[in-house]
Structure 1
């Protein structure tokens, strides 16, 4: 039995996705009943998921996903994930967990502290907030409702795989994303490596990092 209450699918709708660089793909967006946190998370089904789909848990980032902020790598990761999952077949779970779960306003407050020299995790702590408040129980519920019990996880974050495994989801492999470094986000990326053991090439994340994707072996 799953280590969480069951959720059910609520609706499915076809949506043609079109990105600013011209890439486009048809997706099926799925909504749910019964998610434990009460948020309106959405599953984006791309291609034929097959027996072992490629799955990404993507936390909402208004500044990066919508406005193209260069202070994080969320927008480029979202764009990359959609194409890679569509090519193989799988699901992107778009989770309403802005700012690693602290919310938009708190995230912007943390940005202001980062401008004073704190890293992203120290800024959260200075505001009396957790370094990472995200809980992936709802993600496990969504996967279960979609009939997905085993998967390959597209992520550099070991905590996502650990939480899913604890919840009873079989994570067969963790597949690294690209590394989208800019002069504006390189300190942020370095902090993720040093503080939460993200699998990023630390030696390449120098203050002079270019505005291009770095390769990950």
Structure 2
């Protein structure tokens, strides 16, 4: 069916497949942030549909990149329980300001890989006093179940060899390096905290090694 709606490969209009991901379509996507190309992939290893939003001509080295984990509550509903929606918007603005770059939107990463309903159960436990790490463990789930193999495959398909990675999470950098993508710089993506997410952010810093130095200047929010 995809062949009937205009499948585009790298530059020749052909399908391409790299390390478990197959490029299926390339469509223009005008957004409130600027003009993007939405390049759609199928991850044959996990069955997920993925998309890379590409602005300008990113080239191969030192590409400004965000690997954004799907977060329905933050990205679509504007939840202040996390900073995900604000990070996505900031990343899209950053690549437009840069003149080129890529935001890889990773489906299947909801709740750090545990799924939407499990994430909501974990949020309910956090409302009762557990932190985000304790909540996952109380449900018998991993603290972080995300895999970045598809993201690396997408970047390779886009001819990207090295990136400037917009992330506060050192594990994203480690994962890309393990999959053969060089990370020349980790670019902070810091969002001003609010009363609803300050505890969550502090837990990410203290228990998950996220680099969030701006929290040092934040007092007790009430």
Output the TM-score relative to the length of structure 2: 0.86
* 3-state DSSP of counterpart to 1:195: helix
- Other-structure match for 1:177: 189
Contact 2:42 2:48 in 1 (8 A): no
- Other-structure match for 2:58: 49
Task: Return the index of the structure with the highest Cα Rg.
Answer: 2
Where in structure 2 are the equivalents of 1:66-145 lying within 5 Å?
66-88=76-98, 89-96=100-107, 97-145=109-157
Match of 2:174 among 148, 158, 162: 162
Match of 1:63 among 66, 73, 79: 73
- Other-structure match for 1:151: 163
How far apart are residue 52 of structure 1 and its match? Answer: 2.0
Where in structure 2 are the equivalents of 1:202-213 lying within 5 Å?
202-208=215-221
| Pair 205,129 (structure 1): closer, same or farther in 2 beyond 3 Å | farther
Gaps of 5+ in 2: 1-17
- Other-structure match for 1:36: 45
1:134-182: CA deviations, max 9, x gaps? 0100101111111111111000000000011011111111000122301
How far apart are residue 37 of structure 1 and its match? Answer: 1.7
How far apart are residue 34 of structure 1 and its match? Answer: 4.7
Contact 1:157 1:197 in 2 (8 A): yes
Output the TM-score relative to the length of structure 1: 0.88
| Pair 35,206 (structure 1): closer, same or farther in 2 beyond 3 Å | farther
Please identify runs of 4+ aligned residues in structure 1 that moved more than 6 A: none
Contact 1:6 1:145 in 2 (8 A): no
Count of equivalent residues:
201
| Pair 182,25 (structure 1): closer, same or farther in 2 beyond 3 Å | same
| Pair 181,34 (structure 1): closer, same or farther in 2 beyond 3 Å | closer
* 3-state DSSP of counterpart to 1:180: coil
| Pair 94,139 (structure 1): closer, same or farther in 2 beyond 3 Å | same
- Other-structure match for 1:199: 211
- Other-structure match for 1:8: 22
How far apart are residue 33 of structure 1 and its match? Answer: 4.0
* 3-state DSSP of counterpart to 2:147: coil
Q: Distance in 2 between matches of 1:182 and 1:66?
A: 18
Contact 2:166 2:188 in 1 (8 A): yes
Contact 2:20 2:45 in 1 (8 A): no
* 3-state DSSP of counterpart to 1:77: helix
